[in-house]
Each structure stands twice: as C-alpha cells, then as structure tokens.
C-alpha cells in the first residue's frame, strides 16, 4: 500500500472540541425529547380520531355554549282506527278458481255499507294470499275497516292497482281466503 507524506490535515489542532469528522458531542436527554414528541403526537391523533367518530355518528355536539342536555320524549305515532268509508270505491277481484267468490264478497260488503264498484276475476286464478291494496295513506283507516269486515285480510299500501283520479281500494281474494262467519 502506498504511503503519502503527512500534511496539515493529518495533525488536527488540540483545542478543537469535535469528535470524528465534524461531529459535536450529543447533548444529554435528547432521547426523552423524541419520546415525548411521539407520545404527544399519538395522543393528538387518537383524540382527533375519537372526535371524528363521534361526529360521524352524530353523538357529539360541537357547541360549548349549550346547557345541559335535555332528553326529549318521542312523540307516539298515532294508530289508525278502522273506519267504514262509503266514499271509497271497493274493487273485488277473485284470484281463485271458486266461481262467484267476488260477487259473494261484494254483496257482503254492500250489506255492510261499502260502495262496491266492480266484482271480477283477477288476471291470475292461482293467487295464494289474499290482500287489500290501497294507494293513498289517507285510505289506511278504510283499508283496516275492510280487513275487519273480511276476516282480517292483510292490507298493503301499493300503486299496483292505482287508477289516476279515482279513490279506490282493491281487494284481491286468494286461496287462503275464508269468509267471515
């Protein structure tokens, strides 16, 4: 290996306080500063995450001036009572193979005060479940009244039998229908 003559860089001054190549001595306690910064950053991130989750779930209110939280009691939903509404036209459809069932049920409803508009066979003769269809939520009471008159046939709000401009309820009789005693 070749040897080179010594120069000024081979003899550093003795009053120089550096160790190694341009490195100053490490100050004491520097590891604790880094650890404390990591703890603070972790706490801040967790706090922001918790507040974000509460805000997403609408469980926290960001109003420091709000007083104590007051609990509100939910308003009970009014129950609809079954009614007899002669202004609503009732359409009776026979979805079974029993001849004349729509006519019999229509006669029964007329005797009870209902306005029956049509008694006919349904487009399908293999309907399994009877159902009363009403289109307007205001007709729910009348549909419940019809259900009570027809041995508690289920009701359903649907636009399946909607005729624009007409207020009517459609009764579809299925294989499960039993006439009231």
On the question of pLDDT at 67 being above 70, the answer is no
pTM above 0.95, yes or no: no
Lowest mean pLDDT among 28-37, 56-65, 156-165: 56-65
| pLDDT range class, residue 174, cuts 50, 70, 90 | very high
Please give the torsion angle defined by the CA atoms of residues 114, 117, 119 and 122, in that order, rounded to the nearest 10 degrees: -110
Is the separation of the CB atoms in 99 and 68 below 8 Å?
no
| pLDDT range class, residue 37, cuts 50, 70, 90 | very high
On the question of pLDDT at 72 being above 90, the answer is no
Comparing 42 with 180, the larger pLDDT belongs to 42
Q: What is the pLDDT of residue 16?
A: 66
How far apart are alpha carbons 181 and 178 in whole angstroms? 9
Q: Pick from 149, 181, 180: which is nearest to 171 by CA?
A: 149
Q: What is the pLDDT of residue 18?
A: 60
Over the chain, what is the mean pLDDT? Answer: 83
């Amino acid at each position: 290996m070749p040897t080179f003559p010594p120069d000024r860089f081979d003899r550093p001054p003795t009053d120089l306080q550096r160790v190694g190549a341009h490195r100053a001595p490490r100050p004491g306690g520097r590891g604790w500063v880094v650890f404390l910064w990591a703890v603070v950053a972790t706490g801040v991130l967790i706090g922001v995450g918790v507040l974000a989750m509460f805000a997403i779930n609408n469980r926290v209110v960001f109003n420091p001036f709000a007083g104590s939280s007051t609990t509100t009691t939910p308003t009970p939903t009014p129950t609809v009572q079954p009614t007899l509404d002669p202004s609503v036209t009732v359409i009776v459809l026979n979805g079974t193979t029993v001849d004349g069932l729509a006519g019999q049920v229509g006669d029964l409803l007329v005797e009870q005060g209902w306005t029956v508009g049509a008694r006919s066979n349904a487009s399908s003769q293999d309907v399994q479940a009877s159902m009363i269809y009403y289109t307007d939520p205001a007709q729910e009471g009348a549909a419940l009244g019809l259900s009570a008159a027809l041995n508690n046939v289920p009701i359903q709000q649907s636009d399946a039998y909607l005729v624009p401009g007409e207020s009517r309820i459609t009764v579809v009789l299925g294989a499960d229908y039993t006439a009231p005693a």
